[in-house]
Structure 1
Amino acid sequence: MTPDSPRPTSPVIVAARRTPIATAGRGLATLRVEQLAAPVLRTLLTDLRMPPTAVADVVLGNCMGPGGNVARVSALTAGFGPSVPGVTIDRQCGSGLDAVTLAAGQVLAGRGDLYLAGGAESASTAPIRAWRPSTPSGEPRPFERAPFAPPPYADPEMGVAADLVAREAGVTRERQDAYAARSHARAMAAMEAKRFVDELVPVGGLEQDERPRPGLDEWRLARLRTAFVPEADGGTVTAGNSCGVNDGAAAVAVTSERRRAEHGWPGLRLLDWECAGTDPDRPGLGPVTAVRRLLARQGRNLSEVGAIEFVEAFAGQVLACADALHLDPARICADGGALALGHPWGATGAVTLVRLFTRMVREDGPSLGLAAVAVGGGMGIAVLVERVPGEPVLGERVTGAAPVGAR
């Protein structure tokens, strides 16, 4: 398959939306995970002017929610009716991006023509869990998180792992703070220029992202103490050069090239994707292997990719990946990433594709884009997309500025 001759079942993203991202306990604190996802799902169909009956399935990622099938509950909450199924996946921080690749695989296999896929996370309403007592008379034990890896593998907390990756890669505290400051500055500039407006679905009274901070410079970040490993022991990761704990949802509509062409929709063709397993002790490096494999299979190199979005969980981890890939960090997240916008775990992978859709389709930007995320337990996911311009349908000109129905 070449860019000039896509298959009729080649998967294409033709609409992309997200909620504003809120700090846990603040702007979206009272909304359950399905209440975050449902407005995004409804808006995707409004953008495309398609009925719920056209949806083959809803695929959502979620990490820390109430359990059960969040995607199905979200589809029902969105008013899609009982005929639209849903499936929920958990690949930790890669869940939202992986949900889209699973939907794309279904389209490519000819199983359906329209899938809604992404992720949602409400850290604010996630249930408090406990391990059962080890004896009949014992007390429940606090449950912090599920293991990322079993013995004898290392199972570090993500912050501790980010410190290790940064230290081994020689990424200094100064570089991390500078990168984090730039992420906030870029996000603030994008907000002021209203570059997020067309991708946002206001929900719960919140109309814009909460986390970006004006004037958050390197000097202010340098004053923060290390958060996971003491500075005396080589720690460099702080709350300022790390992502936050956040609430939010993001999703895209994935359709076949055949249906895209019928409607003349502009979009992002999903050229290829890769999920790689790596060292559980250094999960932040997962994107390096995934990106290398993906680009090698496609016969491409990073110099050809005009728009790059990484999930910025930790500045040190992103910089270590950039160094390993010989990638200029200034090319990553042109409008700021998770360091500034926030990281709602199950949703953030999908946020990267929403951002690429805005940069490449709504703004008629670069022809090639890349999204990547590091995953707890030692994995990395990368997706390569190509901009597809809109086409005239029945005499009506469809531009590359937005999908049909978008603001």
Structure 2
Amino acid sequence: MTEVVIAAGVRTPFTGRSRALGEVDEAQLAAAAVNEAARRAAWTPEAVILGSCIGPGGNVGRRAALAAGLGMQTPGWSVDAQCGSGMVAVQQGIAHVAVTGSAVCAGGVESPSTAPTRSLHGVPYARAPFTPEGYADPDMLEAADELARRRGISRQRQEHYALRSHELARHQVDLLAAERVSVPRTTGPTSAEQPDPVRDDDGPRPMAPQLLARFPTLRESPDLPRTGSPHNGATVTAATTARIADGAAALLLMPGSPHSGETAPPPAGPQWTVRSAVTVGGDPALPGEIPAAAIRRACQQAGLGVDDLAAVELVEAFSAQVLACLDDLGLAGGDEVDPRVNAAGGALALGHPWGASGAAVVVRLIHRLAAAPLGAYGVASCAIGGGMASALVLERTA
């Protein structure tokens, strides 16, 4: 198999549902990231693989390839693995490059603002089932509250982690700007009437402990009073939950070394070599705790321990979910979090475009490793509704 490297990775701004990117079609949103990843890598991908979980269908991978101007000869396909869609798409891209030796663009996109309403027998519903009958299928908010209850993760600790995410993101302006590409707005029939493109995220926000303490919990235990205690009711609030957002992320994957019949030469610029990539299953009732197992498996396959990692990136769907994983990995204790973890904040500060977030943490990882020495390792991971998680380990090799 061919060694696979990441030659470039970018994301669009992340903006709240129905806000700055609210009128941008998901194919156009993804095309902005695909084009910029290809430009930075100075190479045209021969296929596009995109994750998306609530979009209108129609194969956003192919639509984005055409919208990006890659030509009718460039195939594209799509992946639905819920919040892990973008990372699983990247893993498919890695496998495709390893087998074919051709460069691909892989990532994810989500546009909740333009997603259609789904219905079954004429009745609208918020989401499709994640599991068949006979298995637990909790709402993700319910699962996060239950995970916090079982692990004894207090509301105060969740709020402290959320504050950390916002503060780190507010202080890493240059890193966040380096990973973004602007997106043209699509209002107005002519280019002369187009407003300025969207360049910035609409998070993070200034936060204070006193403000977070005022948020009500988002749900109540059906059997227990709402007290704010991890053992006597719900603890998850809007402040400790990632905002729904529109956004896209894409990475240019290439062969890392020449071989017979290869169509893409090794990249000449910075590169990050894929050392392992895994997707694992676990309890559908508690999907938020499974990334710890995925990270351990990915590190094991790469011949590493957690202590060998220079950077760790997790999708911050909920504070409780991240903290449970960090506790399992020995990367947190009380309010203290290992500084290698999400050092520029995460989805709690910037938003969570479901199908894109798994790819966005890989984009963040390569930009963080770009400032690390050659030979530095990092891992990215995300939880997946239905009881799964994905992770991959990268090494900075140029």
**Is the deviation greater in 353-362 or in 238-247?**
353-362
CA drift at 1:56: 2.3
Name the structure 1 match of 2:129. 147
1:131 aligns with 2:111: no
Name the structure 1 match of 2:50. 60
Name the structure 1 match of 2:193. none
Name the structure 1 match of 2:380. 371
Q: Which runs of 5+ in 2 are unaligned?
A: 186-196, 259-263
**Is the deviation greater in 285-294 or in 59-68?**
285-294
Name the structure 1 match of 2:366. 357
CA drift at 1:77: 0.7
Name the structure 2 match of 1:46. 39
Name the structure 1 match of 2:194. none
Q: 1:178 to 1:384 in 2, by over 3 A?
A: same
CA drift at 1:184: 0.3
Q: Matched residue of 2:240: which SS?
A: coil
Name the structure 2 match of 1:384. 393
Q: Matched residue of 2:238: which SS?
A: coil
CA distance in 2, matches of 1:77, 1:382: 29
Name the structure 2 match of 1:107. 97
CA distance in 2, matches of 1:294, 1:335: 22
The two structures have a TM-score, normalised by structure 2, of 0.89
1:209 aligns with 2:208: no
Name the structure 1 match of 2:270. 266
CA distance in 2, matches of 1:189, 1:65: 33
1:237 aligns with 2:236: yes
Q: Matched residue of 1:258: which SS?
A: coil
CA distance in 2, matches of 1:217, 1:90: 37
CA distance in 2, matches of 1:304, 1:363: 13
Corresponding pairs, count: 368
Name the structure 1 match of 2:151. 169
**Contact 1:246–1:344 under 8 Å retained in 2:** yes
Name the structure 2 match of 1:76. 66
Q: 1:270 to 1:382 in 2, by over 3 A?
A: same
Q: Matched residue of 2:113: which SS?
A: coil
CA drift at 1:42: 1.1
Deviations 1:217-260 (A, max 9, x none): 22211111100235344211000001011000000000011268
Name the structure 1 match of 2:76. 86
The one-letter amino acid of 1:107's match is V
Structure-to-structure mapping, 1:238-253, within 5 angstroms: 238-253=237-252
Name the structure 1 match of 2:188. none
Identity fraction in percent: 42
Q: Matched residue of 1:380: which SS?
A: strand
Q: 1:362 to 1:301 in 2, by over 3 A?
A: closer
Q: Which runs of 5+ in 1 are unaligned?
A: 1-6, 133-139, 390-407
Q: Matched residue of 2:134: which SS?
A: coil
Name the structure 1 match of 2:191. none
1:294 aligns with 2:298: yes
Match of 2:9 among 7, 16, 31: 16
Q: 1:263 to 1:306 in 2, by over 3 A?
A: closer
The one-letter amino acid of 2:217's match is T
**Contact 1:359–1:365 under 8 Å retained in 2:** no
Name the structure 1 match of 2:209. 218
The two structures have a TM-score, normalised by structure 1, of 0.87
CA distance in 2, matches of 1:344, 1:383: 20
CA drift at 1:296: 2.4
CA distance in 1, matches of 2:125, 2:84: 22
CA distance in 1, matches of 2:245, 2:266: 38
CA drift at 1:265: 2.4
**Contact 1:66–1:127 under 8 Å retained in 2:** yes
